[in-house]
């Protein structure tokens, strides 16, 4: 019989910030198999412990920082962190990931998750080792950005490199900016739904985890190494992931522009601006434009997450983290910035401030467009902000983080800011009606992402890009603007990403056939787990996050895009094609395929039973539905 402690530490670290009490609870074997870790464990805690009255800024809200069974094991990208909370943007469920070394260090200290509750009377940071855990005074860290915070704690604890993983909130979280993120390990960001604002409200400046020496045992070590090698080989050789292996997400700029999915100047165009050197934006040339070195995550061989030195321009010589595609989009194309050296600098300023680069892109692009059209004056903002003005965008970051002048309104995010300004300005803003920040694409040409973002229950996309859809009886390829197949695909693949987000592994290194992924989990845990059980675990987490949102009053009436978000492109590859003509049909198909009730938004009792969520039926449907 498999040892139930395989692949897990078996303990959940609990921190009551109000009283200062710290303790650990067991993470039982049955719960591990049902909830896996990460997103699944976080969804369970959120549902069981956060009542409807506990808004994102209430002391009874929980901030869960969890990892999963693969963390700390020799599978690529297994330093994963999943943050689950009730977030500041939607006031609903949040499920957001970062990588680096947090998950591995936490597991090697003997814990599978950290759960914060209450609110500290003073600013603190949590220091975790394999021998002790303590809350320490963080007053000397206040005002520091995330890189400065990590450097200060490295000096304080006399540890450098991967021996210490630090995740902190920067000045944005201190000021409770609604789209504040949690950033760590120099460039890794849990960015969605204002999780950094939640951490700031609890007055936790940082979590510093030393690399412990407890070790993580695998049930079948040789099988695990074989599965890890198979994953690495697949990532390096499969045509769908080979580019990702070589260049991370850098190839997204050229690829997405070709299909009209690059978000140029706040969705006002889908065409390269005149004078742009398109070759400069090819993945090899983007990387070649900087002096760089590797800075990969725990146990990872991907050529990804590099550190760079800016070669030219006003920021020459500064060290930056290589932007992900989302950084090139949010700190670049969405605001009309087309110089890679300047975009890389701005992206790093956002990381250091701990702001979500996607939301900043929509917000800054909105301000630029509104000033261009006369909806916002120079007096309103305090200065003129033109398309492509990276220095001005950096100035805007400071205003938002300090909530100075109009920065106080902009710190509320583009939905609230645009609604406050009103008039034609409100029609230029990109968001969902529940407040979610879309990812850094022009979703008007990728309908699966627009539908996924609007129907998701995690403050971001729930399904993500289609990964090996043929495993689930779907076509290998569909037209991205074919409404019924698109909606069916999004609903059918719902759950895979939640399972991946429960493993303590990177979403890029889990982009392999589900059978291979399950073999790694089986070798680690000793479970006889196949892809059906894995998908059921993911769908269980997805359904519970939706149930949580419904209980909080976030229903299907908010599953809509803003006017600009769903507008009809005026140029580029899909000029004149509108998703709104098919929106209701797509929702009908999605709900039917997912097994959710179209009118109420609830997972049906039959769906909940199939997912072993019988105890959720009565709270959602009433006591009579249980039978």
> Do residues 73 and 226 lie in contact, with contact meaning Cβ atoms separated by under 8 Å?
no
Residue 148, in any domain of the structure: yes
Residue 30, in any domain of the structure: yes
The mean of the pLDDT values for the chain is 96
What distance in Å separates the CA atoms of residue 292 and residue 536, rounded to the nearest whole number?
41
- Same domain, residue pair 417 and 366: yes
Split at pLDDT 50, 70, 90, the class of 295 is confident
Q: pLDDT tens for residues 316-347?
A: 999 999 999 999 999 999 999 999 999 999 99
pLDDT at 339: 95
> Do residues 369 and 361 lie in contact, with contact meaning Cβ atoms separated by under 8 Å?
no
Question: How many Cβ atoms are within 10 Å of 278's Cβ, its own excluded?
Answer: 11
Residue 216, in any domain of the structure: no
pLDDT at 305: 87
Residue range of the domain that includes 46: 11-210
Q: Which of 597, 576, 431 is nearest to 90 (CA)?
A: 431
> Do residues 68 and 500 lie in contact, with contact meaning Cβ atoms separated by under 8 Å?
no
- Same domain, residue pair 415 and 454: no
Domain total in the chain: 3
- Same domain, residue pair 387 and 254: yes
Split at pLDDT 50, 70, 90, the class of 626 is low
**How far are the Cα atoms of 36, 229, 493 from residue 29, in angstroms, in the given order?**
10, 27, 27
- Give this prediction's pTM: 0.97
> Do residues 397 and 407 lie in contact, with contact meaning Cβ atoms separated by under 8 Å?
no
- Same domain, residue pair 419 and 451: no
pLDDT at 4: 61
- Same domain, residue pair 34 and 79: yes
- Same domain, residue pair 328 and 374: yes
Question: How many Cβ atoms are within 10 Å of 28's Cβ, its own excluded?
Answer: 11
Residue 18, in any domain of the structure: yes
Question: How many Cβ atoms are within 10 Å of 316's Cβ, its own excluded?
Answer: 11
Split at pLDDT 50, 70, 90, the class of 294 is confident
- Same domain, residue pair 23 and 138: yes
Which CATH number covers residue 571?
1.10.599.10
pLDDT at 432: 98
Count of residues making up the chain: 627
Which one of 210, 225, 253 terminates a domain?
Answer: 210
Q: Where are the alpha helices (DSSP H) in 100-201?
A: 102-108, 146-157, 170-174, 195-201
pLDDT at 296: 78
Q: Which residues pair with 13 in a beta bridge?
A: 24, 114
- Same domain, residue pair 412 and 523: no
What distance in Å separates the CA atoms of residue 586 and residue 115, rounded to the nearest whole number?
37
- Same domain, residue pair 472 and 408: no
Query: What angle is formed at CA 536 by the lines to CA 535 and CA 537, rounded to 5 degrees?
Result: 90
Q: DSSP label at 561?
A: B
Q: Which of 373, 353, 382 is nearest to 179 (CA)?
A: 353
> Do residues 356 and 258 lie in contact, with contact meaning Cβ atoms separated by under 8 Å?
no
pLDDT at 3: 43
Split at pLDDT 50, 70, 90, the class of 1 is very low
Provide CB contacts within 8 A for 416, sequence distance 6+. Answer: 178, 409, 435
Angle at which helix 390-402 crosses helix 340-353, to 10 degrees, equals: 10
- Same domain, residue pair 153 and 199: yes
- Same domain, residue pair 310 and 349: yes
Q: Which of 19, 204, 182 is nearest to 127 (CA)?
A: 204
Q: pLDDT tens for residues 7-22?
A: 999 999 999 999 999 9
Q: pLDDT tens for residues 39-54?
A: 999 999 999 999 999 9
pLDDT at 292: 81
Q: DSSP label at 603?
A: B
Split at pLDDT 50, 70, 90, the class of 195 is very high
Which one of 367, 392, 426 terminates a domain?
Answer: 426
Q: pLDDT tens for residues 543-554?
A: 999 999 999 999
Query: What angle is formed at CA 564 by the lines to CA 352 and CA 344, rounded to 5 degrees?
Result: 25
Residue 248 has pLDDT above 70, yes or no: yes
Residue 81, in any domain of the structure: yes
What distance in Å separates the CA atoms of residue 507 and residue 503, rounded to the nearest whole number?
10
> Do residues 439 and 252 lie in contact, with contact meaning Cβ atoms separated by under 8 Å?
no
pLDDT at 183: 97
> Do residues 569 and 270 lie in contact, with contact meaning Cβ atoms separated by under 8 Å?
yes
What distance in Å separates the CA atoms of residue 48 and residue 431, rounded to the nearest whole number?
29
- Same domain, residue pair 93 and 183: yes
Residue 120, in any domain of the structure: yes
> Do residues 427 and 64 lie in contact, with contact meaning Cβ atoms separated by under 8 Å?
no
Helix (H) or strand (E) run with residue 292 in it? strand 291-293
Split at pLDDT 50, 70, 90, the class of 2 is very low
Which CATH number covers residue 70?
3.60.9.10
What distance in Å separates the CA atoms of residue 331 and residue 334, rounded to the nearest whole number?
7
Integer distance in angstroms from the first to the last C-alpha of the chain?
Answer: 36
Residue 155, in any domain of the structure: yes
The torsion region of residue 170 among left (phi > 0), alpha (psi -120 to 50) and beta comes to left
Residue 408 has pLDDT above 50, yes or no: yes
Q: Which of 351, 294, 339 is nearest to 170 (CA)?
A: 351
Which one of 158, 193, 210 terminates a domain?
Answer: 210
Which CATH number covers residue 353?
1.10.569.10
Q: What percent of the chain has pLDDT over 70?
A: 99
What distance in Å separates the CA atoms of residue 149 and residue 136, rounded to the nearest whole number?
14
Residue 218, in any domain of the structure: no
């Amino acid at each position: 019989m498999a040892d139930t402690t395989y692949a897990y530490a078996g303990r959940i670290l609990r921190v009551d910030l109000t009283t200062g009490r710290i303790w650990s609870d067991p993470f039982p074997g049955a719960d591990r198999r049902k909830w896996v870790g990460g997103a699944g464990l976080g969804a369970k805690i959120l549902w069981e412990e956060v009542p409807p009255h506990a808004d994102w800024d209430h002391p009874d809200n929980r901030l869960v920082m969890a990892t999963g069974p693969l963390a700390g094991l020799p599978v690529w990208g297994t330093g994963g962190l999943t943050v689950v909370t009730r977030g500041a943007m939607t006031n609903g469920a949040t499920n957001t990931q970062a990588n680096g070394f947090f998950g591995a260090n936490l597991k090697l200290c003997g814990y599978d998750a950290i759960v914060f509750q209450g609110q500290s009377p003073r600013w603190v940071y949590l220091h975790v080792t394999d021998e002790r855990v303590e809350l320490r005074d963080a007053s000397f860290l206040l005002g520091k950005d995330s890189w400065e915070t990590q450097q200060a704690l490295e000096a304080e604890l006399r540890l450098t490199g991967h021996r210490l993983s630090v995740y902190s909130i920067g000045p944005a979280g201190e000021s409770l900016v609604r789209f504040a993120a949690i950033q760590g390990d120099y460039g890794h960001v849990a960015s969605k739904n204002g999780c950094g604002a939640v951490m700031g409200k609890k007055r936790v400046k940082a979590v510093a985890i030393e690399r412990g020496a407890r070790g993580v045992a695998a049930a079948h070590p040789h099988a695990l190494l074989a599965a890890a090698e198979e994953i690495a080989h697949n990532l390096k050789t499969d045509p769908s992931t080979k580019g990702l292996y070589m260049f991370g997400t850098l190839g997204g700029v050229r690829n997405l522009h070709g299909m009209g999915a690059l978000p140029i100047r706040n969705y006002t165009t889908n065409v390269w601006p005149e004078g742009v050197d398109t070759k400069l934006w090819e993945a090899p040339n983007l990387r070649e434009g900087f002096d760089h070195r590797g800075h990969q995550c725990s146990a990872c061989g991907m050529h990804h997450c590099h550190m760079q030195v800016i070669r030219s321009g006003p920021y020459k010589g500064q060290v930056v983290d290589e932007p992900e595609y989302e950084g090139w989009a949010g700190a670049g194309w969405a605001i009309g910035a087309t110089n890679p050296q300047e975009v890389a600098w701005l992206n790093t300023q956002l990381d250091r401030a701990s702001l979500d680069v996607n939301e900043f892109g929509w917000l800054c692009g909105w301000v630029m467009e509104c000033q261009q059209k006369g909806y916002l004056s120079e007096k309103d903002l305090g200065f003129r902000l033109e398309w492509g003005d990276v220095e001005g965008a950096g100035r805007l970051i400071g205003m938002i983080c300090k909530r100075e002048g109009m920065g106080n309104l902009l710190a509320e995010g583009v939905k609230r800011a645009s609604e406050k300004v009103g008039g034609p300005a409100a029609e230029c803003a990109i968001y969902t009606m529940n407040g979610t920040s879309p990812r850094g694409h022009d979703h008007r040409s990728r309908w699966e992402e627009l539908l996924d973002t609007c129907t998701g229950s995690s403050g971001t996309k729930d399904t993500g890009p289609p990964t090996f859809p043929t495993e689930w009886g779907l076509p290998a390829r569909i037209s991205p603007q074919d409404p019924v197949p698109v909606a069916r695909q999004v609903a059918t693949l719902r759950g895979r990403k939640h399972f991946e987000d429960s493993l303590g592994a990177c979403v890029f290194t889990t982009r392999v056939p589900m059978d291979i992924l399950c073999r790694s989990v089986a070798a680690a845990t000793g479970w006889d787990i196949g892809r059906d059980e894995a998908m059921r675990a993911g769908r269980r987490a997805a359904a519970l996050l939706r149930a949580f949102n419904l209980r909080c009053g976030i229903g299907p009436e908010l599953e809509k895009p803003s006017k600009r978000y769903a507008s009809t492109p005026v140029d580029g590859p899909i000029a004149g094609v509108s998703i709104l003509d098919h929106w209701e049909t797509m929702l009908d198909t999605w709900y039917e395929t997912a097994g959710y009730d179209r009118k109420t938004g609830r997972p049906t009792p039959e769906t909940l039973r199939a997912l072993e969520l019988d105890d959720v039926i009565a709270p959602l449907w009433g006591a009579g539905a249980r039978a």
